[in-house]
Amino acid sequence: MQPETYVILLVTLGTRDEAERMGEGLVDAGLAARGSVIPTIHSFYREDGRLQRDRESLLIVTTLPGKVGEARAFIREHHSFEEPHIVTLGTEE
């Protein structure tokens, strides 16, 4: 019997509370096996031609390859950012 292959989603959110709610929602909906929150990260990015710096929270989501699309859709629907930053690590089947 082969072990399950998982995909990791990394999602930045504005606050720890939002990250916890998102993780709990994904697990409760059956779209993630696990969610973990790093409460404070420092993010750097360009917006409107200027370097931006923010403190955000990072949600680490463990899911199955067949649930990645639904999990990403759930995140986009419930995220407070207009365009959430979601990084997918692993193979989507």
pLDDT tens string 16-53? 999 999 999 999 999 999 999 999 999 999 999 999 99
User: Do 90 and 6 meet the contact criterion of CB atoms below 8 Å apart?
Assistant: yes
What gap in Å lies between CA 37 and CA 12, rounded to an integer? 10
| 8 Å CB contact between 72 and 8 | no
The answer on pLDDT for 15 being more than 60 is yes
**pTM (2 d.p.):** 0.90
Written as six digits, the tokens of 88 are: 């997918």
Whether the CB-CB separation of 55 and 40 falls below 8 Å is answered with: yes
Where do the structural domains in the chain lie, given as residue ranges? 14-56
| Cα separations in angstroms, 81 against 9, 19, 33, 56, 66 | 16, 12, 24, 12, 25
